[in-house]
Structure 1
């Protein structure tokens, strides 16, 4: 009797709060808000890339601090799901359960990719 393997392709539902960015535009004006948001998105992308490099290289000493930074950046940009999953990753890491951390990490990467894509679309519509 043969064994069937099914590849799962999880589709994450991503929640975003557009009000966070809209408030920046109202308070700062278009030009200043655009600069702040683009800088924050760049920092977010660099933080994710740095974390990914650390996780791939199994150099995990700084991971909790970087996850906290990612969580704060995501929350400030209204990326609700990304902020929550970054917090979940910190919790899994702190528990020492590397299997749970690996699962949450995979979810974090999926959410990050979708969040960044959605944020670009939101910015394009607001200009």
Structure 2
């Protein structure tokens, strides 16, 4: 028997920094920083709420919440997170449990990378 290799997928997270830059230009740094920080917190809470429902296998209303997550992510320029949330919604609506499980695992990885990568965005000045 050969060696068993543990695969550790590493997601490439695409983002549109222009979305945040526009917020900063339109609102000014102090107000934009508060707004972006609040939006990122809300995004993290939404993701945590969705994760709780998935763990509890409470799939009712999950499609709507995934849509909301996608919109929030897109508004903040988190393109990969928005795309994967949409993919999870499609799998859920098609009742494809296997695909949903795979996409859900990817969504968790992307959310983790997106939210940690974005943690410092509110501190940037544009």
Q: Could you tell me the TM-score, scaled by structure 2's length?
A: 0.93
Q: How many residues end up aligned between the 2 structures?
A: 126
Aligned Cα root-mean-square deviation (Å)? 1.4
Alignment match, 1:107: 106
Query: After the TM superposition, which of the residue ranges 23-32 and 2-11 deviates more from structure 2?
Result: 2-11
| Distance across 2 between alignment mates of 1:110 and 1:63 | 18
C-alpha displacement of 1:120:
1.6
- The alpha carbon displacement at 1:110 in A equals 0.3
- 3-state DSSP of counterpart to 2:16: coil
Counterpart of 2:77?
78
CA drift of 1:41 comes to 0.6
Of structures 1 and 2, the one scoring higher in RCO (CA 8 A, sep 6+) is 2
- In structure 2, how many angstroms separate the alpha carbons of the residues matched to 1:123 and 1:43? 14
Report what 2:38 is aligned to: 39
CA contact (8 A) 2:24 2:125 kept: no
**Are 1:64 and 2:45 an aligned pair?**
no
- Provide the rounded CA distance (Å) in 1 between the counterparts of 2:55 and 2:109: 16
1:85-124 aligned within 5 A: 85-124=84-123
Unaligned runs of 5+ in 1: none
Distance 1:78 1:111 in 2: 14
Give 2:53's aligned residue.
54
Shift of 1:8: 1.1
With the length of structure 1 as denominator, give the TM-score of the two structures.
0.93
1:28-74 CA distances to partner (integer Å, 9 max, x unpaired)?
01111111111111110010000000000001101101100000000
Distance in 2 separating the partners of 1:88 and 1:61 = 17
